[in-house]
Homo-oligomer: A and B are copies of this chain.
C-alpha cells in the first residue's frame, strides 16, 4: 500500500479490512550477546506496542503480516511465521489507548470505532539479523527500537503475553525453528551459536555436549577458521545449510533431534 493510501481515508475505512481479526508481530533479534525485541512507541504517548495492524479484505493473512511489518518498521522479507492466535475475551481489557488523550489515540478512536470492539489477534514471529536491520518508525509512531528482552517494560493490551508465548515457542522448538539461520550472521562460531541457545533457554550449556548435539542434527556446514589472533586457537566458522534443514523438517526433526 502506498503512503497516500495508508494515510488517507482508505486506511481509516473499516470496510477495507477483515473484521474481528488483527495481526501482531513479535520481532526478535540477537546482537551476539542478548536477545532483543523490536517495539514501537505510539506518537505523543508513553504507549509501547508490538508492530501490528489489520488484514485487508483482498489479501492473504500471511501477506498482511509481511505488509504490516514492512509498513510499520521498514523491515522487509525476514523470517516471519504465525505462531499463535490470541482470542481471550479480556485480551484488550485496561485498554490504555482508551485512556490516552494523545492525538494519535484520539484519532484511532474516532476513525476506527470498531477498534473498541472485540477482535482476536494472530501473532507472527519474526527472526531478524538485527545488525543488518534498519528499523524505521511509521507515521503512527515516535520510534521503532530494539529493546533487550531483559529490560522489557509493560506493553499495551495483552502484548506482553504475546511476547511470552512467542518466547515459549522458541524455547520448545529451538531446533525446529531456523534460529541460527535468521538471528546470526551468515557465518558464525560454535560459541556464538551456543550463546544464542543459552539466551533462549536461559541457562548455561556444556560446551562439548552442545557441539556434539548440534553437529549431530546435521544442518550446519563447517567452513574455514576465523582468522583472529593465534591461528592454532582460531575457532571454525559454521553456516546454516538450508537444504539439509528442510530435508530434516520433512523427516520430522522433532524425533531426530
A residues contacting B by CB (< 8 A) are: 18-21, 55, 57-62, 64, 82, 84-89, 118-120, 122, 171-176, 197, 200-201, 213, 249, 251-255, 257
Number of identical monomers bound together in the oligomeric complex: 2
Contact B87 A171 (CB under 8 A): no
Q: Closest approach, in angstroms, between the C-beta of A18 and any C-beta of chain B?
A: 5
Determine the chain B residues whose CB is within 8 A of the CB of A62 once the complex forms: 87-88
A165 to chain B, nearest CB (A): 11
Question: How far is it, in angstroms, between the C-alpha of A58 and the C-alpha of B85 when the chains are bound?
Answer: 17
**Contacts of A173 on B, CB cut-off 8 Å?**
172-173, 176, 254
Min Cβ gap A247→B in Å is 13
A174 interface neighbour in B59, B174, B201, B252, Cβ under 8 Å: B252
Pairwise interchain contact A255-B175, C-beta atoms closer than 8 A: yes
Quote the shortest CB–CB distance from A155 to chain B (angstroms): 21
A120: chain B residues at CB < 8 Å are 18, 21, 55, 61, 122
List 24 A-B residue pairs with CB atoms under 8 Å apart, sorted by A's residue number: A18-B118, A18-B120, A20-B21, A55-B120, A57-B118, A58-B89, A59-B89, A60-B88, A62-B88, A87-B122, A171-B252, A171-B255, A172-B249, A172-B252, A172-B253, A172-B254, A173-B254, A174-B254, A175-B254, A197-B255, A200-B252, A201-B252, A201-B255, A254-B257
Question: When the two chains form their complex, are residues B19 and A55 in contact, meaning their CB atoms are under 8 A apart?
Answer: no
Q: How far is the CA of A120 from the CA of B119 in the complex (A)?
A: 13
Q: Which residues of B contact A253 (CB under 8 A)?
A: 172
Q: How far is the CA of A86 from the CA of B55 in the complex (A)?
A: 13
Expressed in whole angstroms, the Cα–Cα distance for A122 and B122 within the complex equals: 9
